[in-house]
Structure 1
Amino acid sequence: MLFGIPSAFKILGALSLGKLPDVIGRKNTLLAISLLTLLPHLVMVLFGSHIYVYIIGRSVVEIGLGFLLSALPIYLNEICEDHNRAKHGCLMMFFLPLGGLYGYLVGPVTSVRWFTFLCAAPLIPQIIFLLVLFPESPIYSAAKGDRITTINTLRKLRSNKTEDEIAQDYIEIERSLMNRNEGVGCGFKDLFSTRGSRMATLIGFLSSVGLPVSGVPSIMAYVAPLFNDANTNLSGNLVAILVGVVKLTFYFITFAVVKKVGSRPLLLFSYIATGAFLTIIAVYFYLNTTNSPIVHTIRWLPIVCVLLYIASYSLGIGSVSVSLLSELYPNDMRSTGCCFVRTSVAIINAVISTSFPLVVEHLGVHYSVGMFSAGCFLIFAFLYFFLPETGDKSFLEIQEILNK
């Protein structure tokens, strides 16, 4: 109940974002999300003597998380230069498993109230940095016709460039905004009005839907039993820490190599490798269910495969896909497109998480894992033919590719 109900509110967060970044700005949207996330943590610390306080508080936090996963990639992609977008997008995703590992480490040694406070503590310097140091997106400022603010922001973000180079960057932003009216006349129906917007929506959806389709949220519930079945004598918390370390390591590897390798190869490799390891895990579960004698000689196999499965997921599906989504849309559609795709993925995630235990009970865990594997292979096949490489390309160049 404590985890199931709040998770459903992530859908509301993704759905509610809409065009808020276009109305109040990218920076102010992130500030509002930070405050929205901080306040329920403080309420839980002060009044968290009843389970319902935590359910309501976590539900509000999940709404904020739904906001964040749509708004932060937009802001980050708009302040980065073309050749650094993918790299910094992966760095952004690196902090998700870092936060999870932080929770795994402090959770077992603190009370619930202190744990809640420690989860809220990083938000305080974050809000201060947003207020004092973070600039508004230059694309948003330019779309509002504020040339002076845009130039000053570009100077701050790209201090290594000359005035001529800054002026050229501003011209590029103006070109990308040409014939676009930021924040006006773009609704959900416009996401399907042209070939470019349709391709952006389809590619963005299929690359992002791998987050639930790969089965990570569902299969993680079976990690501890897998390790126990292998007679490792590892506690559930230690298993969670081990998985967290693997995710953190490979998210960092992605950050380090994505600029050199490219987003497309990493994402394609991630899908095919994740599907392969899911297939092996499914076969192991099937053999275990049928009491095959070979199972006793390969107790180590599921441990290795689960860790490699998490590693391959972290190399692309979990890291690249979130940042990629906001690169695919033109400026006036970016907020609406990310909102639509993130909401759709959140709904599918809720359906999969809810139905997974039922499928396991009636058909077996091997059947469920096999479906996750098939889903990864199908998404790989589509992306192989339609996903362009977005690294080192401007938003305008990406739109030209999608419109062909």
Structure 2
Amino acid sequence: MPTLQRLMQGRVLLLTICAAGIGGTFQFGYNLSIINAPTLHIQEFINETWRVRTGQPLPRHLVLLVWSLIVSLYPLGGLFGALLAGPLAVMLGRKKSLLVNNIFVVAAASLFGFSRRAGSFEMVILGRLLIGVSAGVSMSVQPMYLGESAPKELRGAVAMTPAIFTALGIVMGQVVGLREVLGDPWAWPLLLASCLVPGVLQLASLPLLPESPRYLLIDCGDTEACLAALQRLRGTADVAQELSELDEERAACRGQRARRPWELLQDRGLRRQVTSLAVLGGALELCGNDSVYAVASSVFRGAGVPDAEVQYAVVGTGSCELLAACVSCVLIERVGRRVLLIAGYSLMTCWGSIFTVALCLQSSVPWMPYLAMSCIFAFILSFGIGPAGVTGILATELFDQKSRPAAYMVCGALMWILLFLVWLGFPFIMEGLSHFFYVPFLGVCVCGAIYTAFFLPETKGKSFLEISEELDRLSFLKQNQGPDWSGPEVILSTEL
């Protein structure tokens, strides 16, 4: 495969992807899934701790309130991390930001590890907030770092790797949480503190690898360091053409400073990019993938999977997303971003509709629970092939060097807020809509596919400067051509 051959030629690039990913989005997926296994054990710890302090058990509704706080502080911390990521990426650079980010991981792991010995569930609460901050930073900085370090013909595949590491983290969190590994009632502090391991691996490996060449040249003005980084990442000394493209990009950014998030919203020339980021970033969180994960266990039980075996079936759902993300990484440079997004959202609409019908008929038709279970796996595969990875590329490709950190701040903040709201509101949606709980998410999937088809330009194989020039043309074409201009026709003409 040409993609794999190019990656092997640039072994340093491959090592950079792994080092950034293991302490980056891997942590996000790992800490997202790992909290599910010790749910009952931590709730018992909360109750017992309160009993030791006061002599009385904590009422059940207050135990659930504390537990909800532990779970919901993760996306809240992610929001703080997303807002912190932009300034960190500008002041410290992409690589150093990822390294400094591990301070939050070490602090959180220490709080988790000693919480039971200290008899403090407050330490678990604070630890979840800090690990959320770490996830928020890495979710923004890692794709920025890798997207700027990859050659344009591999940028899509490289930018898909954060989705692969997210799915890998989800699977590893599910595996480590099994009863046979660290799912024992007394092992939950060690289970939560195991997030330290990927952090240590990143701290040991990432300092040996180069910084983003674009950051070195355009932000720091260091041509020699940029040239050295390019030669290491490409595995060849012949990087004159790429260096020339970077020089053109630097010339286009000369005299500009890094933009603030609110400046993106005020700039008419960036209106299309910001709208695409908001619509498709919002669709990623509101498409219902997390909700499908949430009901998977009950669907598996309804299909006759024994309670003792449900945990293994749940691991299978995470494995599906990992497989789909790997397939998407191979396909993205062949079929393009738009095709994967449209196909992903369209298939999710299809499987979500069948899933809703199967839930409604599962009590009257014997084989419907098996159809519902199959739809869960098909839905997660569709999500992994399209929206899961491609959406993360948008902020890298649609914005120039000076706007990119602010774009990741806006996108990250939006996605973490929506994730928090989905987790908060999903129990009420389930209670109010019952078997039709997925219907609102179907509307989001349809909107995601339609918006991509009509308003998102294809960026496959183009340099950042070429993308920027095309978006500028599209943004001001209506003004130049007058009232006869037709948006969809122009936008569709940009497809390769």
Note whether the superposition's TM-score is higher than 0.5.
Answer: yes
Counterpart Cα distance in 1 of 2:175 and 2:351: 28
Question: Which of the pair has more CA radius of gyration?
Answer: 2
Which position in structure 2 is the counterpart of 1:26? 94
- Within the alignment, does 1:3 sit opposite 2:79 as a pair? no
Counterpart Cα distance in 1 of 2:156 and 2:258: 29
- Of 42-51 and 355-364, more deviation after overlay is shown by 42-51
Query: Partner of 2:210: helix, strand, or coil?
Result: coil
Matching residue within 229, 236, 252 for 2:326 = 252
Counterpart Cα distance in 2 of 1:312 and 1:196: 33
Which position in structure 1 is the counterpart of 2:52? none
Matching residue within 269, 273, 278 for 1:205 = 278
Task: Please show how residues 5-404 of structure 1 align to structure 2 within 5 Å.
Answer: 5-49=73-117, 50-108=120-178, 109-110=181-182, 111-131=187-207, 133-143=208-218, 144-162=220-238, 166-181=239-254, 184=257, 186-233=259-306, 235-288=309-362, 293=364, 295-366=365-436, 368-403=437-472, 404=474
1:352 Cα deviation after fit? 2.1
RMSD: 1.9
1:371 Cα deviation after fit? 0.7
- What are the superposed Cα offsets for residues 254-293 of structure 1, whole Å, 9 maximum, x if unpaired? 11222222222111100111111111112223345xx6x3
> Residue 208 of structure 1 contacts residue 325 of structure 1 at CA under 8 Å; is this kept in 2?
no
Aligned pair in 2 of structure 1 residues 87, 272: CA closer, same or farther (>3 Å)?
A: same
What's the TM-score once normalised by structure 2's chain length? 0.76
1:365 Cα deviation after fit? 4.0
Counterpart Cα distance in 2 of 1:116 and 1:333: 36
- The amino acid across from 2:282 in the alignment is V
> Residue 19 of structure 1 contacts residue 183 of structure 1 at CA under 8 Å; is this kept in 2?
no
Counterpart Cα distance in 2 of 1:53 and 1:193: 41
Counterpart Cα distance in 1 of 2:188 and 2:264: 44
Aligned pair in 2 of structure 1 residues 117, 185: CA closer, same or farther (>3 Å)?
A: closer
Query: Partner of 1:135: helix, strand, or coil?
Result: coil
- The amino acid across from 2:262 in the alignment is K
- What are the superposed Cα offsets for residues 377-397 of structure 1, whole Å, 9 maximum, x if unpaired? 011101101112212111111
- The amino acid across from 1:382 in the alignment is Y
Structure scoring higher RCO (CA < 8 A, sep ≥ 6) equals 1
Aligned pair in 2 of structure 1 residues 183, 14: CA closer, same or farther (>3 Å)?
A: farther
Counterpart Cα distance in 2 of 1:298 and 1:118: 39
Aligned pair in 2 of structure 1 residues 30, 102: CA closer, same or farther (>3 Å)?
A: same
Counterpart Cα distance in 2 of 1:297 and 1:185: 57
- Can you give the 5+ residue segments of structure 2 that lack an aligned partner in the other structure? 1-66, 475-496
- What are the superposed Cα offsets for residues 299-349 of structure 1, whole Å, 9 maximum, x if unpaired? 211011110000000001112111232211111000001101110121122
Aligned length: 395
> Residue 48 of structure 1 contacts residue 54 of structure 1 at CA under 8 Å; is this kept in 2?
no
- Can you give the 5+ residue segments of structure 1 that lack an aligned partner in the other structure? none
> Residue 45 of structure 1 contacts residue 116 of structure 1 at CA under 8 Å; is this kept in 2?
yes
1:206 Cα deviation after fit? 2.0
- Of 169-178 and 37-46, more deviation after overlay is shown by 37-46
> Residue 359 of structure 1 contacts residue 365 of structure 1 at CA under 8 Å; is this kept in 2?
no
